[in-house]
Amino acid sequence: MTALRDDVVAILAASPLFEGLTVPELTAVAGEFDEQHHLAGHRIVTEGMDGVEFFPVIEGSAEVEAHGATAWP
């Protein structure tokens, strides 16, 4: 695992997904992250792939395509 960015816990705390977690719990969750950097247009995962990874976008943006259509944003 990489060193935890100073802003990650605050960003997680602002997310409805992590609502109700304490700062120590958020810190523990954030401590499990491995920071990754991707170039624009780079595919991170492909629909239908098995996996257990979770990709919170801390900086920048991402597009989700499902069934051939852009589902998000």
pLDDT in tens, 6-44: 788 999 999 999 999 999 999 999 988 888 889 988 888
40 lies in a domain?
yes
Residues 62, 71: contact at Cβ < 8 Å? no
Question: Nearest to residue 64, comparing CAs of 40, 39, 47?
Answer: 47
Residue type (1 letter), 25: E
pLDDT band at 73 (very low <50, low <70, confident <90, very high): low
Cβ–Cβ under 8 Å, residues 12 and 29: yes
Residue 1 reports pLDDT greater than 60 = no
Q: Is residue 58 part of a domain?
A: yes
Domain-located, residue 1 = no
The mean pLDDT value for 45-71 works out to: 86
Residue 2 belongs to a domain: no
* Number of domains, the chain: 1
Residue 61 belongs to a domain: yes
Q: Counting every residue, how long is the chain?
A: 73
Exposure b/e, 9-32, CB count within 10 A at least 16 = b: bebbeeeeebeebeeeebeebbee
